[in-house]
Amino acid sequence: MCATYVITRISNVLIMDRRKFLKQSSLASSLFFVPSFVRAFEQVASSSLGYKRLVIIQLSGGNDGLNTIIPFGNDLYYKARPTLGIKANDTIKLNDEIGLNGSLTPLKRLYDNGHLTIINNVGYPNPVRSHFRSMDIWQTATDSDKFSQSGWLGRYLDAYGKQPYSAIEINDSLSLAMKGETTNAIATQDPKVFYNLSKDPYFQNIHNHKNDAHLSEHNLGYLYKSMIAAESSAKYIYETSKTVSTTKAYPNNTFGKQLKTTAQFINSKIDSKVFYCSLNGFDTHVNQLNNQKRLLKTYAEGVEAFVQDLKDKDSFKDTLILTFSEFGRRVNQNANVGTDHGTANNVFIIGDQLKKQGLYNNMASLSDLDINGDLKFEIDFRTIYATVLNKWLEVDDKKILNKSFKQLDFI
C-alpha cells in the first residue's frame, strides 16, 4: 500500500476509530507501532538501560524439539518414531546419548566454542496446544488461564525505556511481546525504507494538523501524534545504522536478512536494547523430516553468520540471543510421518558470557510422560525470562513479570 493512498485515506476518515485504521493499514503496521503522546527523542539515562543487547528469535509453528536435540541412545525414542526417528549416525553427537539434528552443524561450532547453552524440557503449567494461545502465553509471560494485552518486552519498555526505538522488531508488524501498556516498540525490516516512508510529502503534511484542537484519543489524534513521533525515530534509526556496513556473507533468505539488519543495528551502537526476529514454518504435521531439516539449516546458518558479524565488530560480548518456539511436538509420530502439537521443548541461549555451557539439564523422560502422552515440563520459561531480565539486562524482573521466579545460572 503506497504512502499516497494511506495519507489520502486519513483525510477521508478523520472520525474512523484509530484501532480499526491501524489494523487495516499495512503501512501503519510497519511504520507507526509507536506509543501515543511520546517524544521520540526523550532521553533515558544510560544507567537505566545499560549497554547489553538482547536478541529474541522465535521459531513459529512449534519446532519439534525431539528431532532437534535427539536422544539417539534411548530405544523409546525409536519405538515412538519408527520412521521419523533420526538415526544415531545422522546426528551430530554431543555425548554418548544425545546429538544435534544433522542440519545444525553451524550450531555445533558455537557449542564447541562455549557459546551455546541448551535448556531442555521448557514449558509452563497447564499447557495449551493452540498456536495462537500458546504464543500469546510465551509473549506475555502470563499463566495459561490469564490474558494480557501487553508483552513481557513491552512491559520492560514501559518501565525502563522511553523511546520507541529502545526495542525494534525486524518485521512488518509488531508482536504482542513488544507491545507495552504505554510504550510500544518499532517494527521495520529496512531502516532506509522506514526513513523514506517518513519523508513522504503526504506524510509531512501531517505536521500541519498536529495542533488541531479537534484531535483527540477518540479519533485520529492518536495516529497523528504517533506518526510525528515515528518520523524522529525513523531518522535516528536510519542515520545511526547507516554508519556501519558488513562484508559478512549471510544466507540469501528472509531470516538471513533479518539477522543482517539486526547486526547492522547492534554494530552501529544504536540506542536499542532489544531486537526481535522470527523464522516461520515449523508446524510439521506432514513429511516432517525434510521440512524441519531445511528450516533448522536456515536457522543455524543465519545465526552463525550473525555471531561472526558481531564478533568482527566486537559486539558479541555484549549480546545475548534467546531462541524459543511456542511448544514442542508429540512424542509419537503421526500417520503422515509428522508430529502433532505437544508441550515441553528446548530453548537455546547463545552468548559469549555463558556460565553453564552446553547441555544445561537432562532431557525429559520418555518413560514418564504426562496423562496425554506428552513430555513433562521441568523448567518454567518465565524462569529463563526472569534470569535474562535480572542478570543480563539488570532490571527488576518481578516488576515486569508481575511475580517472582527463581533465577537460573546459565549467565
Of 240, 197, 178, nearest to 33 by C-alpha is 178
Residue at grid coordinates 513479570: 401
pLDDT tens by residue, 355-366: 999 999 999 999
Residue 9 has pLDDT above 80, yes or no: no
Strand 69-70 to 99-101 pairing:
antiparallel
- What cell does 225 get? 501524534
User: For position 109, what pLDDT does the model report?
Assistant: 98
Q: How far apart are CA 180 and CA 36, in angstroms?
A: 12
Give residues with Cβ within 8 angstroms of 403, minimum separation 6: none
How many angstroms separate the Cα of 357 from the Cα of each of 69, 119, 188, 315?
15, 10, 33, 20
Of 48, 41, 93, 42, nearest to 72 by C-alpha is 93
Q: How far apart are CA 213 and CA 226, in angstroms?
A: 16
Neighbours of 108 (CB within 10 A): 18
pLDDT tens by residue, 322-335: 999 999 999 999 99
Residue 5 has pLDDT above 70, yes or no: no
Residue 339 has pLDDT above 90, yes or no: yes
Proportion of the chain above pLDDT 70, given as a percent:
80
Residue 6 has pLDDT above 60, yes or no: no
- How many Å from the N-terminal Cα to the C-terminal Cα in the chain? 44
Confidence tier at 223 by pLDDT (50, 70, 90) = low
User: For position 279, what pLDDT does the model report?
Assistant: 98
How many angstroms separate the Cα of 375 from the Cα of each of 248, 366, 371?
40, 7, 10
pLDDT tens by residue, 11-40: 343 334 444 443 443 344 444 443 333 333
Confidence tier at 230 by pLDDT (50, 70, 90) = low
The mean per-residue pLDDT over the stretch 57-63 comes to 98
The mean per-residue pLDDT over the stretch 184-189 comes to 90
H-run or E-run covering 283: none
Residue at grid coordinates 520459561: 381
Q: How far apart are CA 401 and CA 143, in angstroms?
A: 11
The mean per-residue pLDDT over the stretch 389-407 comes to 96
Confidence tier at 41 by pLDDT (50, 70, 90) = very low
Kindly report the CATH number that applies to the domain delimited by 53-191+249-401: 3.40.720.10
Q: How far apart are CA 390 and CA 383, in angstroms?
A: 10
The residue ranking higher by pLDDT, 380 or 51, is: 380
Comparing 106-120, 188-202, 279-293, 396-410, which segment has the lowest mean pLDDT? 188-202
The DSSP secondary-structure symbol of 388 reads I
Name the pTM for this structure.
0.86
